[in-house]
Structure formats: structure tokens, C-alpha cells
Amino acid sequence: MTAYSDRVREAVTAGRKIEAIKLLREETGMGLKEAKHAVEDLQRSLGVPDTSTSGGCSGVILVVGLVAAGALAYRYFAA
């Protein structure tokens, strides 16, 4: 179990994951992978959502698909 400083906890709760990883590495000498996992564990234990991952372009593709389907339906039913 890693003891986290107030600075690391504050960065995690504020959603600043990269800053928290940097601080943890500076304070403990952990490697990057170990610090990343430790910060992610802390996020989960504090109930902080991980906002560092994006949904990619799936949302954009969905919107474009819906617009295209709507345009086709309009042309089909308007004729």
C-alpha cells in the first residue's frame, strides 16, 4: 500500500492524473508504470472518474450516420 501525499491526492481529486503521476514519481522514486497504476488505484478508491481516456471518434461517426440516415429518409419520404 502506497502512502499518498496531500499534493498527489489533491491532483487526483482535481482530475489532474498526469500531474499526480509526476508528483508521485518525484516523491517516491517509482517508475512510470508503477506510479500510473498507483494513481489509477487511488482514483478508484476515491471514486474519481478517469477522464484521461477518450471515446475516440465513435461519437462523431454516430452523429454523421444519423444525419445521413435522416437525409436519406427525408429524400425517400418527401418524394
- How high is the pLDDT of residue 27? 96
Between the two ends of the chain, the Cα-to-Cα distance in Å is 68
Q: Hey, which bits of the chain come out as E strands?
A: none
| In a domain? residue 62 | yes
| In a domain? residue 38 | yes
- How high is the pLDDT of residue 52? 64
* pLDDT 10s digits, 14-71: 999 999 999 999 999 999 999 999 999 999 999 998 876 555 677 788 888 889 888 8
Judge contact between 50 and 15, C-beta under 8 A: no
Q: How far apart are alpha carbons 14 and 19 in whole angstroms?
A: 10
| In a domain? residue 1 | no
Q: In total, how many domains does the chain have?
A: 1
Compare 70 and 10 and report the one with higher pLDDT. Answer: 10
pTM above 0.75, yes or no: no
Residue 4: which pLDDT band, with cuts at 50, 70 and 90? very high
